Chain A
């Protein structure tokens, strides 16, 4: 299995609070992704990174920011969580731009 760890795995928070999800990899892969998964929507790309300090927006980036200060970590931040951001968040990594993605086990976030 690819060395990819998401933390926390479960979090319950209140509307308006900041939340940061962490994705950590030990594979030295260049590409990292954050997706959210909701019933009926499959996986939707939030942000992705193609190198240290190189990030770009995905399909549903509003309300989210990311940072990648080193190869192994990709952080997803919700500056002020809303109930619509209740979801399961998946991190994925890849060694090539159009190659196979390796997924983490997901982080379940509930915003009350």
Chain B
């Protein structure tokens, strides 16, 4: 089974609202990353948070990491139509640091 699992699987919100997606993982990690995928395209890296960090910001993105709960959240503030995409978390497999595993993703739709 996959290392990371996102919740919810799908999310539909009004433009301007905030979107929150959650990721849970199973083993200890070095880093956790979030990626975005527009329909039919390759994934694009959004943000990386290290295991010794609790929160990180990048523009309208805010990521938190709780290693005790093995979970992370991605918050997108003031959503825009262009934020419509699928979002994935990715973790290394701890002892196999270069083995990067993805979750099943959250499909975000922004309504105008």
> Do A and B make up one complex?
yes
Q: SS class of chain A's interface: helix, strand, loop or mixed?
A: strand
A-side contacts of B48, CB under 8 Å: 99-100
- In the complex, the number of residue pairs spanning A and B with C-beta atoms less than 8 Å apart equals 69
Chain A residues within 8 Å of chain B by Cβ, number: 27
Segment from B12-20, B59-67, B75-83, B97-105 that makes contact with A: B97-105
B-side contacts of A44, CB under 8 Å: 2, 102
A-side contacts of B40, CB under 8 Å: 106
Known A42-B2, A98-B30, A98-B31; judge A103-B44 contact (CB<8 A).
Answer: yes
Q: How big is chain B's contact interface, by range?
A: 20 to 34
Interface of B toward A, CB cutoff 8 Å = 2, 6, 30-31, 33, 35, 40-45, 48, 88, 90, 92, 96-105
A-B contact pairs, 14 of them (CB 8 A): A33-B100, A40-B104, A42-B6, A42-B105, A43-B102, A45-B99, A59-B2, A90-B42, A97-B98, A98-B31, A98-B100, A99-B48, A100-B48, A101-B33
